[in-house]
Chains A and B, each alone.
Chain A
Amino acid sequence: MYCIEARLLSKSYGNFMAVDNIDLQVPSGKIFGFLGPNGAGKTTTMKLLTTLIPPTGGQMNILGIDAIKSPLEVRKKIGVVLQQPSYEPTLSVEKALDKYGMMWNVEKNIRKDRVEELLVAFDLVDIRKKKNDDLSIGQRRRVQVAREFMHDMELLFLDEPTVGLDPSARRGLLDFIKGKVKDGLTIFFTTHILEEAEYLCDDIAIINKGKIIAVDTPGELKNKFGKEKTIKIHISEQKDISSLLAGIPECTIEHDSGVIITVRSSHSEQVLQDILKILASNDMAVEDLSVVPTSLEEIFLSVVKNSNA
């Protein structure tokens, strides 16, 4: 069952294609990460899917509803945290949460409980009486994200929700989101902080220049695009190690300082064994050794680079 199904979705501004015939399928009850460099089309896609702007072409089905024909029906069932800050400057934190719940027609007694719950969950208790206008950017962002949990929803769109948050607040928010997903919520999450996507997302799509260039689980993306691992060896004395390792098949020497050498290989286990044999046969002592898998960030950069090429 898919929460979001988009087919050949596009949005153009004059000759510029902000979103270029993308296909998307987001399964229910999962966290779907939507990654891309600045200006890639993430926010425009988000605005299309949340029915804030109409598409130029294509079809969208959100929660089983034709989002082009019945946008209001879709919006009644989703939550959206936009990238740009949004707040009522004259309201206090707790009043802002309560009024937002009222706008979503949440009953007064339920609102009261939720306000208390969210003030604690988002560490807002100490600033509950402060007006939004007097908050720091990070505090305001926390209120903005917390506010969205005042109402019930089946699908939540989060457009870079952790921007402006300190590391502790960021981790707190990600864990809170994970908890909500366990309760059945589906999340569409855009970010360019790749550690977040790796920590949080079940599936990831990468968009560049308005086109989706990769979609898969973080693990599969690594399998597909990141089979290579980086082997870093620190030897005790300066030697011409590059010439010794040159004969190892499937091994690319990236860096050689004489005592530290970095190689990349998609057959890292075999290559590591060969390197250790060569070092032992040349009486070269190893001071330190590490094998690092390719990070999502490297995959992202590589996929985007290939797409640009």
Chain B
Amino acid sequence: MHEIIRLVNRNLTISLNMGFVIWQIIFPLIYIFVAGFAYTALIHQVPFGNKTLDYPAFIATGMIGFNIMNSTLISGIIIWNDRRHGMFEQILVGPFTRAQYIVSNVYTIGIIGLVSAAMITAVGYPLFFKQVEFNILTVPLVIFASITGSILFGSIASIISTRLKSSEGFNVIINTVFLFFAFVSTAFYPAQGAPPILSTAFYFNPLTYLVDVVRAGIFGYFNSLVATEMIILGVGAVILFVIATKLLSKLEM
């Protein structure tokens, strides 16, 4: 078995506990089925490209992106725990390189991201199936969003985990950052109608691009704006991944 596969196996074993799985399923379900229907009275229709979506369909697809982002928290938690519990050094005196350790984390969050996306797509499907327009770009766009989103947010979580030593600091910072990403985005509500400052802030947030690409795939709407968002997402993922890798490579032993 290849070194990276062994490390991914190990990462999944130590990360996937009942608490995490429940968090990954229950939390989005509450948003999709409770907030989705509760807010329908306030937000009736949401324009998306040349289409108009009803709010439950809008939030269900937003939750796919949200869940991809949330699942990447695991990357920061793995690195932070490995440093705290001495496994980072132990792995690096074993038959592994730092590059393999980093890549294994990317694969881990990629797998968790894809599974999360598939799970929420399956759960949310009854809400958006009427408006779904599958085409040749649907699967590639959702997979692209899952992978680049996982790498981008996983890199952010990794960067935070390499900079902080105390568990309190790590938890506070990572939750604050991810809370900002979650709620200052178009995952939960559309940019249209929001105060101008807020709707501008939405587009400084990679989660907005991630959910836009997911929605573009699911609702079969692709234009130059989506293509630009994909480029920004891809470039952002590469830059942050390089930074995360450099910081991990420089971690003192």
When the two chains form their complex, are residues B86 and A105 in contact, meaning their CB atoms are under 8 A apart? no
Asked whether A285 is an interface residue with its Cβ less than 8 Å from the other chain, the reply is no
Within 8 A of B (CB), among A75-123: 75-76, 78, 80, 82, 84-91, 95, 99, 102-105
A102 near B9: Cβ-Cβ < 8 Å: yes
How far is it, in angstroms, between the C-alpha of A82 and the C-alpha of B93 when the chains are bound? 9
Q: Is B85 at the interface (CB under 8 A from chain A)?
A: yes
Flag if A89 contacts B85 (CB, 8 Å). yes
Q: Which residues of A contact B242 (CB under 8 A)?
A: none
B6 close to A102 (CB less than 8 A): yes
Q: Bin the interface of chain A by size.
A: 20 to 34
Which segment, of B10-18, B133-141, B175-183, faces chain A?
Answer: B10-18
Per-residue CB proximity of A56-90 to B under 8 Å, as 1/0?
A: 00000000000000001001101010101111111
User: Judging by beta carbons under 8 Å apart, are A86 and B86 in contact?
Assistant: yes
CB <8 Å contact, A84 and B17: no
Contact between A50 and B93 (Cβ–Cβ < 8 Å)? Answer: yes
The number of residue pairs between A and B whose CB atoms lie closer than 8 Å in the complex comes to 63
- Complex interface: chain A residues within 8 A of B95 (CB): 72, 75-76, 104-105
CB-CB nearest in chain B for A88: B14
**Residues from chain A with Cβ under 8 Å of B193 in the complex:** none
Distance to closest chain A CB from B90 (angstroms): 4
Best-buried of A75, A82, A86 by chain B (most CB within 10 Å): A86
Give the docked Cα–Cα distance between A43 and B95 (Å): 20
A137 at the A/B interface (Cβ < 8 Å)?
no
Please judge, given known A-B contacts A82-B86, A84-B86, whether A99 and B93 are in contact too, CB under 8 Å.
no
User: Are B85 and A105 within 8 A (Cβ)?
Assistant: no
Q: Give the docked Cα–Cα distance between A102 and B3 (Å).
A: 10
CB distance from B127 to the nearest CB of A (A): 34
Question: Of B13, B86, B91, B94, which is within 8 A of A85 by CB?
Answer: B86
Are A52 and B93 also in contact (CB < 8 A) when A86-B86, A89-B81 are?
A: yes
B9, B85, B91 pick with most chain A CB within 10 angstroms = B85
Q: In chain B, what residue has the closest Cβ to A80?
A: B93
| A234 at the B interface (CB under 8 A) | no
- Give A147's nearest chain B residue, CB to CB: B90
A131 to B18, CA, bound (A): 15
> Which residues on A are within 8 Å of B, measured CB to CB?
47, 50-53, 72, 75-76, 78, 80, 82, 84-91, 95, 99, 102-105
A–B Cβ pairs within 8 angstroms, 24 of them: A47-B253, A52-B89, A52-B93, A52-B253, A72-B95, A75-B93, A75-B94, A80-B90, A80-B94, A82-B86, A85-B86, A86-B87, A87-B85, A88-B14, A88-B85, A88-B87, A91-B14, A99-B9, A99-B10, A102-B6, A102-B9, A103-B6, A103-B7, A105-B95
For the complex of A and B, list the 7 residue pairs with the smallest distance between their C-beta atoms, beginning with the closest: A86-B86, A86-B90, A80-B93, A76-B95, A50-B93, A84-B86, A52-B253
Query: Which residues of B pack against A, CB within 8 Å?
Result: 1, 6-7, 9-10, 13-14, 17, 81, 85-87, 89-97, 253
Given A72-B97, A99-B14, 16 additional A-B pairs, CB 8 A = A50-B93, A52-B89, A52-B92, A52-B93, A53-B253, A80-B93, A80-B94, A84-B89, A86-B86, A88-B14, A90-B17, A91-B13, A99-B10, A103-B6, A103-B7, A104-B95
